[in-house]
Each structure stands twice: as structure tokens, then as C-alpha cells.
Amino acid sequence: RCMSVPIAGAEGMGGRSRAEAAVDLGAGWVHGAQDVRNPLAALVASRGGVHPLVPSKRNADARGGERRPLSALLISHDMDTHLLTDAATGAEFDVECVAAAAGVFEAVLEECAKVRARHPPGREWSFAGEAAAARERLEQAGDIPMLSYAERRVWSWFVGRAAGTWFAAETADPGAAHGPDTGDGGTDAGAPLRGTPAFVHGGLQALLRPLAAGVDIRFSNPVKRVCRHASGVTLLLESGGRIEADYCVCTIPLGVLKVAPGAGVTTLAQSYQNRNLMPINSEEMRPPPRFDPPLPDEHRAALVASRVAHENRVALRFARAFWPQEVTFLGACADSVEDCSYFVNLSPLLGGEPVLLLLLTGARAFAMETSSEAVIRETAMRALRAALPAGCAVEEPLSVRWSRWGQDPWARGAYAQGELLPTPASELAAPAGRLHFAGDHVARRWTGTVHGALDSGKSTAKAILKAIDTDLLTIKTEDAGVASMPSAPRGLRGSSKL
């Protein structure tokens, strides 16, 4: 028999999913919810309160109802679901302008991937900076058209979305973001999930809760030390307790692993990443667990190379919806990436409740970690005024809620950043003895997503079961001639999920 013991340091389940009045300030979306390859698809299909982000009819009638992606690299977003405006004038950019900027963006992104592949390991690399340089090179070579003033502002919005954070599930190049496929879904198993993303009322915890039904999860049990040895893994708890296991699955988020002694980056001085792509390492936070002995060199190198995306969200609730209701996304375009913004209109998804969700990434998300409520409110309202069309009167919100994932001691950042480039997930997915890993940072496909984390967990579970079968075979061979097997063979005391 095999006993599993889930251990959690936090007080409750959910991880980086946190609902505030039906709005999740963390993992609140299911990408490709209709795709059978998505491990969450069955849960989505069996539960109410899940709303697909369907395209509007704003411009579709003029094209005979034809669906037009916003970009080949944002395949689950439609032109008709977005309203992109000029941050300075409030003028709406037409479809042709957006399409022109998207075409140049895709060519620049391909050029950036080539440059990144040749970039020396361990040296700073900025996507936003390289994108600007790559566009200039391609323009001078005549490989891309010169953009107009309006198209350049839309192009900056595209770069801002990609530089600050990138949904790996929406990319069109499976080799770039997802790495090699290890699943059983056929030749396209690592390809982007098909279908529109879905919003989950009440957050992803509502989907994950059924998975934990009947499971004895030991919450509020922070682990102080993870000790590997030849016969298994020993967990030393802060409470003074001790857990012995034959196998351990470590699902500690990337931001925590990167600053854990014996794992990744132990001090900020050891990191070559800039502040927007590294975990926040505050002495006031709960210290991460220590790995003893230290993880193998290949694991530590992979953790150093991995990047933590900083994204924070601000939910604004108003007395009434004064913005266009026929679109799902509102975006402000400007000359600089930092002045662009991105809102999600949650009103149609919440039964008419007037709620907007602001997604802040990169430097602005990092700044939110230490900003006051007044500063956060002003930042959100300034971004909203820039994103709305001219003539739209902006009202003050009734309430403002926000996240600070960088200061969360159990997260230290939002999620693993795939960045449309090869990730070290394959190295992180390899076990260190009997210590295995799972999570969004370990996912060899769909990096940085919940379904990617779940997919990696399934792969890890299969690997452990295979190892247990090997142990049983070894025991059976050693005990040849014995009539019956013991109910709890030696070497199979249990497995722990950290």
C-alpha cells in the first residue's frame, strides 16, 4: 500500500488563486477550456459559473461573422473583444492599424528569439530593449514596413504585453514556449490550447476544491528543512515535527525556490536578473525551507535561469458600468511601454456587476508591492482614464482590491515566465534522487499556467508510481520463494507532497 501525505505551509488551499468578491486576483482564467488536452477541461465542463470570453459582435457583422485573431501569437484573443485607444487622445485604433502593428510585432518577436538563443548565459537580457533594437534593424533592412505614428503606439502595447508577462497557453509556436512534448496527446500535444479562455466565477479555487474533497491536507505546517537521503526524504517542520517519506513531490513556487538555501538563488547578489523578473527577497518575510544536501548543480542552474513574472491585479467596483459593454478588453496605447495599460471588463461575466480588472506587469507590478492604497487607486484610475474612449466620463470606484504576490511569503512572485523562449523546465522536472518537483515552473508545456502545473503533477505522479513498481519488483526478486507479500513492503512507508 502507498500512503500520501499532503503538507501545506499556508492556512488554506488555493496557492496563487485568491478570490475577492467573486473576482480572482491571481489565477482566475482557464485557457482553452474547451480543449480536451487541457487537464482542467473536465472540471470546467462539470461546473457552473464558468463563462467563455466570447467575441463580441462589435465589428464581426462587417466581416460576415468571421473570427479574426488579435495576433497570430494571441490566438485566443479576437479583434472584436479588444478596444485599443490612444492614451493621449482617447481615439480608437481601427482594425487595420492593429493588424499592421501585430504583423510587425510577430516579425520582431521571431528576430528576438534568434538573438536570445545566441545571448551568453548569465548576462542580463531585456525583451523590451531588444524588441526596439530588432524593429530598427528589420526596418533598415527593409524586412518590415515602417510603422505610422498610430501603429507604433499600438506596437508598444503589444511589446508591453509580451515584456511584462506572457500567457504561454496563447502562443502559436509550441516549440518556443512549451518545450518538448511529454504527454500522450499526439503530435500536437504541446501545441497551444484551442478555444477561447474562460472566466471562473469565484476564482480557480472553485474548480480546484473538488480535487481536494476527502483529502487530509495538513495546512499550517511550514517545512523548515528538506533532507534527501538514499532511502527517501525527511521533512523537518517548523513545529518541530518530522515526516519520513520514500518519495516527496515538491510544489513550492518558483519565487520561493529561487531564494531557498540549497536550491536556487540564495542572495540577490547571486542573481543576474533585473528586479522585475526575480523574487522579492525581504528579511521580514518568512524564511524559505533549506534543502540539505543542496540540489544537484543542474537543478540549481535551472533555477537561476528561470524567471519569475511579476503581475499584480487591481479590481475596481463601480456604482454602474460607464464604459463600453460590447468589449471584453480595454487597452491604452502610448509611445512607451510603461504608459500602456490593460483592463478586463468583468461586468458581462459577473451578471452585470460593474467591475473592471487592471493587470499590471513588470515595473508597475513591482512598485505596487510597497505602494499605499491611495497610490494604487490613483495609478488604476489614471490608467483607466487613458484606456477609455474620448467623451467617456470616468466615475470614482466604490471599492478597490489589489494583490501583492511578490510580498506573499508562499509565492514571492506571480508565476514562471515562459517568455516565448526555451525554458529550463526539463531540468527542473528531473527528480533529485527521491525528491520530485511539480508546478507551473516545471511544466514542459503550458509554462506558467494552472493547467500546466496540473499536467506536470500528473507526469510526476506517473514517474513515482513507476519507481514504486520498480521497488516492488526488486523486493519480490529479493524475496523469491516467499508465498505472500507483506502489506507494507519495506521502502514504501509513504509519499509526501510538499
421: left (phi over 0), alpha (psi -120 to 50) or beta: beta
- Give the pLDDT confidence of 151-208 residue by residue, as tens digits: 999 999 988 877 654 432 233 332 333 333 333 333 344 566 766 677 787 778 777 7
The residue ranges of DSSP E strands in 79-210, in sequence order, are: 82-86, 198-200
Task: Count CB-CB contacts under 10 A for residue 229.
Answer: 12
pLDDT of residue 33: 76
Q: Rounded to an integer, what distance in angstroms lies between the CA atom of residue 7 and that of residue 194?
A: 34
Q: Rounded to an integer, what distance in angstroms lies between the CA atom of residue 348 and that of residue 360?
A: 22
pLDDT of residue 52: 67
pLDDT of residue 278: 62
Pairing of strands 290-292, 223-229: parallel
pLDDT of residue 425: 64
Q: Are 448 and 415 in contact (CB under 8 A)?
A: yes
pLDDT of residue 37: 85
- Give the pLDDT confidence of 214-256 residue by residue, as tens digits: 888 899 999 999 999 999 999 999 999 999 999 999 999 999 9
Q: Which fold has domain 1-498?
A: FAD/NAD(P)-binding domain (3.50.50)
Q: Rounded to an integer, what distance in angstroms lies between the CA atom of residue 38 and that of residue 192?
A: 10
Task: Count CB-CB contacts under 10 A for residue 365.
Answer: 24
Q: What is the dihedral of CA 30, 31, 32, 35, to 10 degrees?
A: -60
End-to-end CA distance of the chain: 20
Q: Are 262 and 294 in contact (CB under 8 A)?
A: yes
pLDDT of residue 30: 80
- Give the pLDDT confidence of 25-35 residue by residue, as tens digits: 988 778 777 78
CA-based angle 287:16:369, to the nearest 5?
65
pLDDT of residue 379: 95
Q: Which neighbouring-strand residues pair with 86?
A: 333
Nearest to residue 434, comparing CAs of 270, 312, 295? 295
The pLDDT tens digits along the chain (498 residues) read 567 888 898 888 778 888 776 788 988 778 777 788 888 877 777 776 666 665 444 444 444 445 444 444 443 455 567 889 999 999 999 888 988 998 898 898 888 878 877 766 656 667 778 888 999 999 999 999 999 999 999 999 988 877 654 432 233 332 333 333 333 333 344 566 766 677 787 778 777 777 788 888 899 999 999 999 999 999 999 999 999 999 999 999 999 999 899 987 544 444 444 445 566 766 678 889 999 999 999 999 888 878 888 889 999 999 999 999 888 889 999 998 888 998 999 998 888 899 999 998 877 888 899 999 999 999 999 999 999 999 899 999 999 999 999 999 999 988 887 644 445 666 788 999 999 999 999 988 788 888 889 899 999 999 999 998 887 666 656 555 543 333 333 334 455 556
Q: Rounded to an integer, what distance in angstroms lies between the CA atom of residue 32 and that of residue 34?
A: 5
**Domain range list for the chain:** 1-498
Question: What interhelical angle do 149-164 and 95-118 show, nearest 10?
Answer: 50
Cβ-based neighbours of 153, under 8 Å, separated by 6 or more: 86, 87, 93, 333, 334, 335
Residue 461 has what DSSP assignment?
H
Q: Rounded to an integer, what distance in angstroms lies between the CA atom of residue 7 and that of residue 414?
A: 21
Amino acid at residue number 379: T
Nearest to residue 310, comparing CAs of 413, 163, 442? 413
Q: What is the CA radius of gyration of the chain?
A: 24
pLDDT of residue 46: 74
Maximum separation of any 2 CA atoms in the chain, in Å? 86
CA-based angle 272:443:227, to the nearest 5?
75
431 cis-preceded (ω within 30 degrees of 0): no
Q: CA–CA distance from 162 to each of 83, 107, 166, 168, 489 (Å)?
A: 18, 14, 5, 10, 51
Pairing of strands 329-333, 341-345: antiparallel
Which pairs with CB-CB distance under 8 Å and at least 24 residues apart come from 57-65? 57/326, 58/326, 58/327, 59/95
Cβ-based neighbours of 312, under 8 Å, separated by 6 or more: 25, 360, 365, 368, 369, 402, 403, 404, 405, 406, 414
Q: Which neighbouring-strand residues pair with 343?
A: 330, 358
Chain length of the chain:
498
Nearest to residue 70, comparing CAs of 110, 35, 97? 97
Q: pTM of this prediction?
A: 0.82
